[in-house]
Amino acid sequence: MTTRLTIHVLFTLDCESIAIRTAKEGPRTWEQSARAIEGYANRLLRAGYPPTLFLAPQCAVEHTPLLEELAERGAELGLYVNPLQAESGSYRNFLGTLSPEAQRRLIDESAERFADAIGVRPRSFRPCKHSASDDTYRLLYELGFRQGSIAQPGFVLPRIGVDWEHVSHHPRYVDSANRERSGELPLLDVPVTTDPDQRHITNLPYELRIDAGTFEALHQPVIDRAIERMIEDAASFCALCFTSDNRPAYDNDDDKHSRTLEAILDYLEALRERYDLVPTTLAGAHDRFRAARHTLRAAQE
């Protein structure tokens, strides 16, 4: 009897601060942000997929009541860091370009601001643009983080501290001194699912970013290729990781990105006929990853 492939499914959301002149990634207003976050989370929670929300510190402060309600319903709250939006205004590039000392200071200050709003320090992390250096994982672990969605396989842009040319496509424990290697530092990185063999005109790899294209042209082929890769690589722990941000009108059924999200959810339901899909947050994925490692090691003894 053939064992069915188990695939963990994560939906994440980058919750930026509102856009400013030096950092245009965010929504125009806090109202737009709240509607996007609530709409995204509601759609996923109704479908049985608890989302992981990566929050800029300012976003955690602005939306505290909403975020507390979503956490009670099963959403996970993690930290999102965009140096260009730091309140000090002292950073001019993304995380991976900063010195270890500057990274530590920025991440720690951001985590403290998050904790002031939410009541606990975050343990899950994502940097803006997936920018990281060889020091980043070690610093995150020392600051209390235990999981992240940091790597973006195939994304290379050295001028902003991004180089994921050779990183694994699959969830892994990381190396404390080399961001692309797997290692024994017990910080789990679940990369956003990409297909580096297909690229946008900007040379960015196709990824499971909900607002980046249509389901038929982007998401279905990337999902199918990712599952093929899991089988080809005989991956010990498989995951599909989707992402978006707090700009699209996910509260509006007629919005094109809402329709894309619903099409993805319908396709995942169809995939259940062939695979065991496990909806999970990032922290939940780490719990299952840890348990799988323990089971494997026990079987080898």
**Residue for token digits 């690229």?**
199
Helix axes 30-47, 64-72, angle to 10 degrees: 0
* 162 domain residue, yes or no: yes
23 DSSP β-pair partners: 20
Rounded distance between C-alpha atoms, residue 143 and residue 119, angstroms: 16
Res 297: pLDDT: 79
Largest CA distance in the chain: 59
The answer to whether the beta carbons of residues 45 and 51 sit under 8 Å apart is yes
Domain harbouring 186, CATH code: 3.20.20.370
Distance of CA 18 to the CA centre of its chain: 19
Res 35: pLDDT: 98
Res 23: pLDDT: 57
In sign, the C-alpha dihedral spanning 161, 281, 113, 248 is positive
Rounded distance between C-alpha atoms, residue 253 and residue 81, angstroms: 30
**Residue for token digits 């947050």?**
281
Long-range contacts of 220-229 (CB under 8 A, 24+ apart): 220/267, 221/195, 222/193, 222/194, 222/195, 222/198, 223/193, 223/267, 223/271, 225/195, 225/197, 225/198, 226/169, 226/193, 226/195, 227/5, 227/7, 227/275, 229/169
* 1 domain residue, yes or no: no
Which helix (H) or strand (E) segment holds residue 257: the answer is helix 256-271
The answer to whether the beta carbons of residues 206 and 194 sit under 8 Å apart is yes
Rounded distance between C-alpha atoms, residue 219 and residue 223, angstroms: 6
* 225 domain residue, yes or no: yes
Alpha helices in 187-252 (DSSP H): 220-232
Res 21: pLDDT: 55
pLDDT, one tens digit per residue, over 172-223 is 999 999 999 999 999 999 999 999 999 888 888 999 999 999 999 999 999 9
* 120 domain residue, yes or no: yes
* 227 domain residue, yes or no: yes
Residues of the chain with pLDDT under 50: none
- Residue 16 to residues 23, 69, 169, 229, Cα–Cα distance (Å): 10, 19, 25, 31
- Which residues fall within 8 angstroms of residue 107, CB to CB, at 6 or more apart? 79, 81, 125, 139, 140, 143
String of DSSP letters for 134-182: TTHHHHHHHTT--EE----TT-EEGGGTEE-SS--SS-EEE-SS-TTSB
Rounded distance between C-alpha atoms, residue 263 and residue 214, angstroms: 9
Which helix (H) or strand (E) segment holds residue 44: the answer is helix 30-47
- How many distinct structural domains can be found in the chain? 1
Which helix (H) or strand (E) segment holds residue 194: the answer is strand 194-199
Rounded distance between C-alpha atoms, residue 38 and residue 67, angstroms: 9
Reference 111, options 193, 54, 178, 43; nearest CA is 54
Domain span at 73:
6-300
* 269 domain residue, yes or no: yes
